[in-house]
Structure 1
Amino acid sequence: MFNENFMTVVGKEGVVSIVTCDDEGAHVVNTWNSYLAFPGENRILIPAFGMRKTQRKMEKNNNVLLTLGSKEVEGKMGPGTGYLIKATGIFKNSGPEFDLVKSNFSWANRVLEITVSEVKQTI
């Protein structure tokens, strides 16, 4: 699911946008590429400290979109590429996923566990 080009992008520093939506509309929060962990074939773990509005929206609708990219990685049309990730998510404050994230990010009080259904290169 996560091909070599995608993982190269993740290896470069950049912004990850996390989009959630409920009846009141969309909400976007950001994190960094270097904060992402990949514990399995279709999962991403993201440390969370804030993200309270994101969590509230995900409790109503657990569908989530992520975008990330890097201008340092060759894309479809030249320098720079980006990806759109379609997924579902859940926040956890205990368990092995949380322990893994907490060991690398002492400030994290929760982990956002993303289960990916689709990864699409956009540029």
Structure 2
Amino acid sequence: MLSKEFHDVISEEGIVAIVSWGTDEPHVVNTWNSYLIIPDDKTILIPAAGMRKTQANTEVNNKVKLTVGSREAHGKKMGRGFLIEGTAEFLQSGSAYDQMKAKCPFTSRVLVVTVTSIKKTL
């Protein structure tokens, strides 16, 4: 599901937007492409230092949407980007957490996104 083209995009620096929604309006937080860990073709690990509202939302509704992109990634004229939909959970221990903590020491939890769909947007 997470293609070579997706991996090419996140190998360049760019911003990641994470959208969650519980019972209120949608909430958006950001991180950087370079912080992501992709352990397999359907899982994205994201470091969480804050993201308290995102976590509260996913406890009510575990669906999330992410956009990832990079202007530097070769694509059409403007780089490349993707819209990803999936389910989310936050972990404070385990191998995914340990892997993220080693890469991003500032993390207090890891946001694990299980991808259900991916669409090229740029």
- Cα distance, 1:81 vs. partner? 1.5
Task: Give every structure 1 segment of 4 or more consecutive aligned residues whose post-TM-superposition deviation is greater than 4 Å.
Answer: none
- Cα distance, 1:73 vs. partner? 2.0
> In structure 2, the residue corresponding to 1:57 is in which secondary structure?
helix
* TM-score, with structure 2 as normaliser: 0.95
**Unaligned stretches of 5+ residues in structure 2:** none
| 1:83 has 2:82 as partner | yes
- Cα distance, 1:79 vs. partner? 3.0
* TM-score, with structure 1 as normaliser: 0.95
Q: Which has the higher strand share?
A: 1
Aligned residues: 122
| Code of the aligned partner of 1:103 | A
Aligned to 1:30: 30
Alpha carbons 2:3, 2:41 under 8 Å: kept: no
| Code of the aligned partner of 1:3 | S
**Unaligned stretches of 5+ residues in structure 1:** none
8-17 or 65-74, which moves further after superposition? 65-74
In angstroms, what is the RMSD of aligned CA positions?
A: 1.0
| Code of the aligned partner of 1:118 | S
Q: Deviations over 1:60-115 (max 9, x none)?
A: 0000000011112233x423111000000000001111011111111111000010
Q: Deviations over 1:31-70 (max 9, x none)?
A: 0000000111200101111000000001000000000111
- Over the matched positions of the two proteins, sequence identity in percent amounts to 47
Distance in 2 between residues matched to 1:41 and 1:10, nearest whole Å: 14
